[in-house]
A and B are shown apart, each in its own frame.
Chain A
Amino acid sequence: DVKVTQSSRYLVKRTGEKVFLECVQDMDHENMFWYRQDPGLGLRLIYFSYDVKMKEKGDIPEGYSVSREKKERFSLILESASTNQTSMYLCASRYNEKLFFGSGTQLSVL
């Protein structure tokens, strides 16, 4: 079974802090994604990476950056957290047209 692991289930941060969300997959998948889920808005794509050191903006990249130094790890960075970034963050890897998601990180920015 594919395993996508997100380092934290719950995080509480203060506005202005730099926040790192980590994601690791164990199946050598090339494509990895970061989504956020908000009530009534579904899952929205923040950034994705199609290979090591390769990244592309998704639909809502503002306020975020990403890092992919190794194939198995894809990090989402909130440069200066704001309250409107309070959300559930979901990491996924892709193989054979399917996305495999981690358990999610519920981030609260106070």
Chain B
Amino acid sequence: DQQVKQNSPSLSVQEGRISILNCDYTNSMFDYFLWYKKYPAEGPTFLISISSIKDKNEDGRFTVFLNKSAKHLSLHIVPSQPGDSAVYFCAAGTSGTYKYIFGTGTRLKVLA
């Protein structure tokens, strides 16, 4: 049973426009969420995180929104750039535990 789902395997966006990547989770115990970006043949790199006491966190072009009642989070990238083309993973965890559960990833392609 997949506790963290990224239902869109891929997404294409024009350069300069907004990219919205979505993530749904089922476990109401999750209270910390992260987004990672991964280029081919490299390890994932941390992008942005949010704890359940917030509903929004912003860092430059990246904003994460959390809707706890819907068990849904989204990553917004504005404006999108060709260098943003990568696979994006969301991850969820629970305070006091060690594990993070990752989604299956969304491949973003930003078209120049």
- A contact residues vs B (CB 8 Å cutoff): 4, 9, 31, 33, 35, 40-45, 48, 50, 56, 58, 90, 92, 94, 97-104, 106
Contact = CB atoms under 8 A, between A and B. Distances in A.
Contacts of A48: 98-99
Interface of B: 4, 6, 9, 32, 34, 36, 41-46, 49, 89, 91, 93, 98-105
B44 A101 contact: yes
Contact of A102 (B43, B102, B104): B43
6 contacts: A56-B98, A98-B34, A98-B49, A99-B91, A100-B46, A103-B42
A106 B102 CA distance: 19
Main secondary structure of the interface of B (DSSP, over half): strand
Contacts, number: 58
A42 B5 CA distance: 10
Contact of B102 (A4, A9, A40, A42): A42
Contacts of B104: 40-42
